Amino acid sequence: MDVQDIKNRFGIIGNSPLLNRAIEVARQVAPTDISVLITGESGSGKEAFSHIIHQLSHRKHGPFIAVNCGAIPEGTVDSELFGHVKGSFTNATEDRKGYFEVVNGGTIFLDEVAELPLSTQARLLRILESGEYIRVGSSKIAKTDVRVVAATNKDVMENVQKGKFREDLYYRLNTVPLHVPALRDRKEDIHLLFRKFIVDFSEKYRTPHIQLNDEARRMLENYSWPGNVRQLKNIAEQIAVLETEREIGPETLFQYLPRERNLPVRLERQEGEHEFSERDLLYKVLFDMKKDLVDLKKLVFNIIQHPNDLRQAAASDPHLVSRLYEDLEVKGDEKHLDFHAPYLSNPQVLENKETFNEAEEVEESLSLEDQEAELIRKALRKHGGKRKSAAAELGISERTLYRKIKELNL
C-alpha cells in the first residue's frame, strides 16, 4: 500500500511533502512492533497516524484504545492505566482492569504522554521493557502484550532537561520519531481541507455550497492557524452554517479568523494613562545613558589622539571646557577623567596619554530614580521649563510629568 492508498483509506487530505513524509514513516514502521512517538502541535492530526500504524500492523484485529493522559487526574491515572484491586483506596469496591490489561494483544495510543506524573512514567517504562505491571494495591505481577504509540505537543527533550520527563522513557518511546507538520507549514493543503470541510458541513446542514474568491483564498493560506486542522474545521463549520452568500470575500472571512497573537499591536496612549508611560520613561533613560557613554568615549578618544586641537579651542573659547563639563556631567578627582578647565588647560596633562590610559571608570549613580530625575531636568531645561513640551520630548503625558516632578521633588 503506497502513500496515496493510505490517504484514500484514512481520509487524509493534502499533498504537502512534509505530510507525505510523515505518512511514509508511519507506513514503514507499522509492520514492526516497536514503539512510536508522534510529535506535532495540538490539532495537527496526530491521532490519525496512530490509527494508520495500528491498522497496517499485525495487531489490526486486536483492540485499539486512545487515552488522553492530560485528561486523567493525577490521583487516578495509575488505576486507569494499570487497574486496581478491591480496597486499594477509598471507593475501590471491586477489582478493576486497567487499559493495558483490556487492550492486551492490541495497540494503546497515549496522547499527551508528557503530562504523565514521574511515578507513572516509571510504571510505563517497565511495561515497555518487559511487559510487566502491577495493579494498584496489589503485589502480584501481571503481564501484557501491548504496542505503545505515544504523542505529545510539547518539547519532550526540554522537559527531560527540566526533570519533568524521564530520559530513559523518552529514548524508549522515541525508537522511531514521527513528526506531523503544522498546518501553516503545508499551505498548499489549506484550501483543499477547507473545501472538503465546507462540502461535508453543507451536506450535513443542508446549506448552499460556499466558495472563496482569490483574495479570500490567499488570506486563508497566509493565516498562521495556531489551532491547526481542528481550528480550520471549526471555522469551516461556522461559515457553512451562518453564511448565505455562495461566494465569500476577504471581508467576510476576516470576521471568522481570530486575531493572530504573534502580531505586534500598536497601542495608542490616552492622556492621563501611565501604565505604559513609566515603562517608556525608564527605557528612554537607559537608552540615553548608553548614548551619553558612547559620546563620552568618543570625546576621550579625540582628546588622546588630538590634544593640541582641544587646547587651542579652549584658548579661543574660555567657556568651552565648562560647557563640556556641564553637558557630560563627569565628576571625580584627578585620578578620574575630570574635565575642569584648569586641568584641561595644563599641556603636560593633555600630552601625557598614559594619564588617560590608566584612568579609572567614572563613578556615577545607577539608581533609576536618579536617572529619571536627571532626564526630567534635562527636558525641562531644554524647553525652558515648559512642561507640555518636556512631556512630549520624554514620550509621556503632561499629567505623568507633573506627578513625577512632585514625587522626585524637582
**Maximum CA extent, the chain:** 103
Kindly report the CATH number assigned to the domain that includes residue 224. Answer: 1.10.8.60
Cα–Cα–Cα angle for 75, 81, 85, nearest 5°? 75
Supply the pLDDT for residue 375: 81
Same domain, 94 and 191: no
Q: Considering the chain, what percentage of its residues have pLDDT values greater than 90?
A: 56
Same domain, 176 and 197: no
Q: Is the pLDDT of residue 31 over 80?
A: yes
277 lies in some domain = no
Instruction: Decide: 246 and 208 in contact? Cβ < 8 Å.
Output: yes
Q: Which three cell numbers stand for residue 336?
A: 578620574
Confidence label for 344 from pLDDT (cuts 50, 70 and 90): very low
Confidence label for 150 from pLDDT (cuts 50, 70 and 90): very high
Supply the pLDDT for residue 291: 67
220 lies in some domain = yes
Surface-to-core class of residue 156, CB atoms within 10 Å of its CB (0-12 exposed, 13-18 middle, 19+ buried):
buried
First to last CA, the chain: 81
Supply the pLDDT for residue 315: 60
What mean pLDDT is reported for the chain?
81
Kindly report the CATH number assigned to the domain that includes residue 134. Answer: 3.40.50.300
Supply the pLDDT for residue 376: 84
Name the domain boundary from 181, 203, 231: 181
Same domain, 177 and 188: no
164-172 long-range contacts (CB < 8 A, ≥24 apart) are 164/114, 164/118, 165/114, 165/118, 165/121, 166/118, 166/121, 166/122, 166/125, 168/125, 169/121, 169/124, 169/125, 169/128, 170/37, 172/35, 172/125, 172/128, 172/129
Q: Is the pLDDT of residue 343 over 90?
A: no
Q: Which three cell numbers stand for residue 148?
A: 505503545
Instruction: Decide: 130 and 114 in contact? Cβ < 8 Å.
Output: no
Name the domain boundary from 254, 280, 303: 254
Q: Is the pLDDT of residue 263 over 90?
A: no
326 lies in some domain = no
Q: Is the pLDDT of residue 105 over 80?
A: yes
Condensed to tens digits (0 to 9), the pLDDT of residues 38-76 reads 999 999 999 999 999 999 999 999 999 999 999 999 889
Condensed to tens digits (0 to 9), the pLDDT of residues 82-98 reads 999 998 888 888 999 99
Confidence label for 330 from pLDDT (cuts 50, 70 and 90): very low
64 lies in some domain = yes
Same domain, 170 and 202: no
Domain that includes residue 87, residue range: 3-181
Instruction: Decide: 205 and 244 in contact? Cβ < 8 Å.
Output: no
Q: Which three cell numbers stand for residue 306?
A: 588630538
The helix/strand/coil state of 295 is: helix
Same domain, 113 and 19: yes
Same domain, 12 and 117: yes
Q: Considering the chain, what percentage of its residues have pLDDT values greater than 70?
A: 75
User: 55-64, 218-227, 310-319, 327-336 — which is least confidently predicted?
Assistant: 327-336
Supply the pLDDT for residue 357: 45
Same domain, 166 and 231: no
Same domain, 138 and 160: yes
Domain tally, the chain: 2
Same domain, 139 and 196: no
Name the domain boundary from 200, 230, 254: 254
Same domain, 73 and 152: yes
Same domain, 124 and 177: yes
Supply the pLDDT for residue 55: 96
Q: Which three cell numbers stand for residue 332?
A: 571625580
Same domain, 83 and 176: yes
Condensed to tens digits (0 to 9), the pLDDT of residues 362-393 reads 444 556 677 778 888 888 888 888 888 888 87
Cα separation of 79 and 255, whole Å? 46
